[in-house]
């Protein structure tokens, strides 16, 4: 299967689809934080270096992130394909990743840009309510996910609360930051002809089918 770089604003459902791809096609899910922690656990020179940085809260430089990525994508669990989540984070990293792939003779695969209309994102985030006792998640703007009784968990009767950063102002800031950082990467991959945009506003099954269609088609230049 094609490797995937997953780009999406928080709340667009990236986690849901990454999980489905993992379950159905055995993709490895790679996030930078996870692989750095994983690499830090290997008792060699690089592992020790990364561990020291993480333990001391030092920002891990790109060349070390690249080494960790290179290590990870050559492991057996990535043979069936992998999803990069949260990497590349900027244009410099996108170019660095190209160099890694060139060196390994691997293909980039496809970049899936998951989009969501702002109004719907707002509903998903601002309507979110969480049970204080069991952690069940509801949405007061969605009939399917609304609690039967306002403010009360269907499952355990616990009280529902809204997370502090699930408000419009915090959401707008997150969205703005996301686009500032991601726009150049989107343009970069668009020019390469590997970018596929998927609108995640329909129901998850439909969106997932669309993602599967992209993975099965050959019209993406590798
Ligand atoms: Zn509950």
The residue ranges of every structural domain in the chain are 4-117+169-216
Q: Is the dihedral of CA 198, 209, 189, 182 positive or negative?
A: positive
Q: What is the distance in A from the centroid of ligand 1 to the CA of 29?
A: 29
Angstrom distance (rounded) from CA 31 to CA 51: 17
**pLDDT at 59 (0 to 100):** 85
* For range 21-45, the mean pLDDT: 91
Asked if residue 15 has pLDDT above 90, the reply is: no
22 is catalytic: no
Q: Reduce the DSSP state of residue 156 to 3 states and report it.
A: coil
Q: What is the distance in A from the centroid of ligand 1 to the CA of 140?
A: 15
Q: What is the distance in A from the centroid of ligand 1 to the CA of 131?
A: 5
pLDDT single digits (tens) 83-92: 999 899 899 9
pTM for the full predicted model? 0.83
Angstrom distance (rounded) from CA 215 to CA 210: 9
Mean pLDDT, the chain, as a whole number?
92
Q: What is the distance in A from the centroid of ligand 1 to the CA of 189?
A: 43
72 is catalytic: no
95 is catalytic: no
First-residue to last-residue Cα distance in the chain? 12
**Around ion ligand 1, which residues have CB less than 5 A away?**
131, 133-134, 136, 153, 155-156, 158
**pLDDT at 7 (0 to 100):** 95
Q: Reduce the DSSP state of residue 74 to 3 states and report it.
A: coil
Neighbours of 95 (CB within 10 A): 11
Q: Where are the alpha helices (DSSP H) in the chain?
A: 14-25, 32-40, 45-55, 62-73, 91-104, 118-126, 168-192, 204-216
Q: What is the distance in A from the centroid of ligand 1 to the CA of 190?
A: 44
* For range 48-65, the mean pLDDT: 92
89 is catalytic: yes
Query: Catalytic: which of 72, 124, 128, 196?
Result: 128
Angstrom distance (rounded) from CA 7 to CA 198: 10
Q: What is the distance in A from the centroid of ligand 1 to the CA of 206?
A: 29
Query: Catalytic: which of 163, 176, 209, 213?
Result: 163
**pLDDT at 203 (0 to 100):** 87
163 is catalytic: yes
Q: For 184, list phi and psi in degrees, rounded to 5.
A: -60, -35
Residue 120 near residue 207 (C-beta atoms within 8 A):
no
The CATH fold of domain 4-117+169-216: Rossmann fold (3.40.50)
Helix (H) or strand (E) holding 196: strand 195-199
* For range 10-18, the mean pLDDT: 88
Query: Catalytic: which of 20, 37, 49, 89?
Result: 89
Helix (H) or strand (E) holding 113: strand 110-115
Q: What is the distance in A from the centroid of ligand 1 to the CA of 166?
A: 19
Q: What is the distance in A from the centroid of ligand 1 to the CA of 132?
A: 7
Residue 186 near residue 7 (C-beta atoms within 8 A):
yes
Angstrom distance (rounded) from CA 157 to CA 47: 46
């Amino acid at each position: 299967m094609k490797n995937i770089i997953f780009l999406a604003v928080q709340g667009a459902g990236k986690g849901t689809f990454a999980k489905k791809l993992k379950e159905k096609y055995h993709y490895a899910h790679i996030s930078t934080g996870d692989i750095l922690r994983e690499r830090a656990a290997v008792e060699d020179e690089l592992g020790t270096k990364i561990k020291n940085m993480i333990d001391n809260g030092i920002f891990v430089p790109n060349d070390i992130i690249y080494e960790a990525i290179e290590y990870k994508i050559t492991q057996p669990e990535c043979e069936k394909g992998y999803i990069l989540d949260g990497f590349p984070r900027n244009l410099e990293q996108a170019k660095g990743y190209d160099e890694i792939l060139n060196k390994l003779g691997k293909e980039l695969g496809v970049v899936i840009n998951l989009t969501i209309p702002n109004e719907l994102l707002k509903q998903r985030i601002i309507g979110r309510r969480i049970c204080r006792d069991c952690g069940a998640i509801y949405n007061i703007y969605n009939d399917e996910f609304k609690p039967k009784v306002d403010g009360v968990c269907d499952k355990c009767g616990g009280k529902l609360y809204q997370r502090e950063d699930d408000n419009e102002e915090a959401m707008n800031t997150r969205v703005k930051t996301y686009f500032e950082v991601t726009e150049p990467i989107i343009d970069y991959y668009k020019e390469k002809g590997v970018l596929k945009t998927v609108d995640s506003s329909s129901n998850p099954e439909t969106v997932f089918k669309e993602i599967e269609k992209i993975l099965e088609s050959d019209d993406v230049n590798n």
